[in-house]
Amino acid sequence: MATPPKRLRRTMTRSRLLIYSLILAVAVVLVSCNRKNVYVKYQHVPTSGWDKNDTLTYDVSPLKAGRYHEEVGVRIARSYPFMSLSLVVKQTILPSGYVHSDTLVCKLVDESGKFRGQGVSYYQQTFHLNTIRLHEGDSLHINIKHNMKREVMLGVSDIGFRIDEE
């Protein structure tokens, strides 16, 4: 059986590459769009020290009724001296006034001393907090503070809060 001319083979290869690229692009879009981001905010923490009494506050505008996925983001400098960071996250749902408090232990460094997450001199990770159900028009007031034995935590750069609609 004779092989197709070189130009025809090149065209077939380009067509296949285009089809595979298109399928991959559609798959990426479908996978990344299964949640709709409704709130993201990071607050800077002085790397010179985050005092135990310094509370970070996040206010989320009223949302529509539904289930929401909550995450806390942590950015640390390479100088962060511990393997984990313990955070107290207190949420108030308004207008009901319902208060929910969680302690989130964020594992930032593995047993071999390697920083987890993405980064070079600063590393970022996200940690699942909750899945909550809100009623029409509910808003959130969130307070986050560290719960470590040290009064002042060095090396924490930013703390973020993210909400995605499920």
What is the Cα–Cα distance from 96 to 139, expressed in whole angstroms? 10
What is the per-residue pLDDT for 112? 84
Higher model confidence: residue 79 or residue 127? Answer: 127
Say whether pLDDT at 18 is over 60: no
pLDDT at site 116: 87
Structure tokens at 6: 């070189």
Q: What confidence tens digit (pLDDT) does each residue in 37-72 have?
A: 999 999 999 867 999 999 999 999 999 999 999 999
The two three-digit tokens of residue 44, written as one number? 């800077």
What is the per-residue pLDDT for 19?
62
Residue type, 132: I
Q: 120 exposed, middle or buried (CB, 10 Å; 0-12, 13-18, 19+)?
A: exposed
- pLDDT tens for 103-155 read 999 999 888 888 888 888 899 999 999 999 999 999 999 999 999 999 999 99
Q: Model's pTM, two decimal places? A: 0.77
Q: How far is CA 55 from CA 9, 34, 51, 86, in A?
A: 64, 32, 9, 14
